[in-house]
Amino acid sequence: MPEIIKLVRRATCPGVELVHITDSPRIWGHLNTLFSFGTMASWRGRASYRRQNLPLGPGHTFTFDPGEFFRGVPDDAGTGSFRVIELMPDLFADLCREEDRRAPMHFTEAIRPAPAALATALDALERALLGDTDALEQQSCVVELAHAASLTVLERGAPRSSKRPAPLGPCERLRELLHSSEASTVSLAAFAREADVSQFQLLRAFKRRYGFPPHAYGLHVRVERGRRLLRLGRTVAEAAAAGDFTDQSHFTRHFRRIWGVTPGHYASLR
């Protein structure tokens, strides 16, 4: 069976995206920018996340925070199916703060069997997005999902400290630079000299911390910048330009490699 990728966004339910993957043999890896809930149907393999290599299989729910890299490697010669429900960070954070959650918010564990309340809420939102439902029902399901997550899988965040934060190390500073408007001008050699580390030390430490070397991390940041604009209704050309890609074909090649569909197809799901 060929791989089937189905993405659903509803104008009546802004800030929410449903991704259905069927019979996928591929390695999945991307920089996550949303609060995401991945439910494994038949997919089985291992997930690299926060410097851990974790078993992931049928019945597991994978919850991951914005700003984190995820890489899922299926078992040898295996195919599998799974579902991901993603919520924009501002939407999810606002709903959870209504439940007296303090920012910043993080999921307590990456992989677990979903608590019953969370599983019920995820399934209800999927049915609402796929079915002939009105805006109020869809939006109510999102609220129910945030409520269930708040009760079951979110940390109880501590208030923000008034103390001055500790200085960022070289890897953190380079990561911030890759997220900034100055990313296209980054020189690894110049940055390593300024940080007083060798280029090899920097590359090794960055990959160990974030899962990818700086150039690959920066590419994912640029693709995600373009994906965000596509969700907002901008053209593929505008998304490619915003990600500093040389042309649309360059953007399309990397977008399809990461997400399995072209930017044009992704943009049409409105």
- Domain harbouring 67, CATH code: 2.60.120.10
User: Do the domain assignments include residue 159?
Assistant: no
Q: 142 and 263, same structural domain?
A: no
- Structural domains of the chain, count: 2
Per-residue pLDDT reduced to its tens digit, 114-143: 999 999 999 999 999 999 899 999 999 999
**pLDDT for res 270:** 59
- Show the domain range for 205: 170-268
73 beta partners: 46
Residues 228 and 146 in one domain: no
Which of 18, 33, 145 is CA-nearest to residue 85?
A: 18
Query: What CATH number corresponds to the domain at position 198?
Result: 1.10.10.60
Task: Let me know whether 63 and 197 are in one domain.
Answer: no
Indicate whether 165 belongs to any domain.
no
Q: How far apart are CA 186 and CA 178, in angstroms?
A: 8
Same-domain check for residues 20 and 148:
yes
In the numeric block, which tokens belong to residue 223?
Answer: 């693709």
Q: In this structure, is residue 19 part of a structural domain?
A: yes
Shared-domain flag, residues 104 and 175: no
Asked if 41 and 24 touch (Cβ cutoff 8 Å), the reply is no
**Whether residues 71 and 138 fall in one domain:** yes
Task: Note whether 41 and 71 are same-domain residues.
Answer: yes
21 forms beta bridges with 5, 82
Distance, in Å, from the CA atom of 42 to the CA atom of 210, rounded to the nearest integer, reads 28
Q: What is the pLDDT of residues 86-113, one digit of tens each?
A: 999 999 988 888 776 665 688 988 999 9
240 against 97, higher pLDDT = 240
Last residue of a domain, one of 117, 152, 187: 152
Report the Cα 64 to chain-centroid distance in Å: 7
pTM for the complete prediction? 0.83
Which of 122, 152, 182 finishes a domain? 152
Give 63's strand partners.
37
In a domain, 92, yes or no: yes
Q: Same domain for 48 and 75?
A: yes
Q: What is the pLDDT of residues 22-68, one digit of tens each?
A: 999 999 988 999 999 999 999 999 999 988 899 999 999 999 999 88
- Do residues 70 and 98 both lie within one domain? yes
129 in the same domain as 27? yes
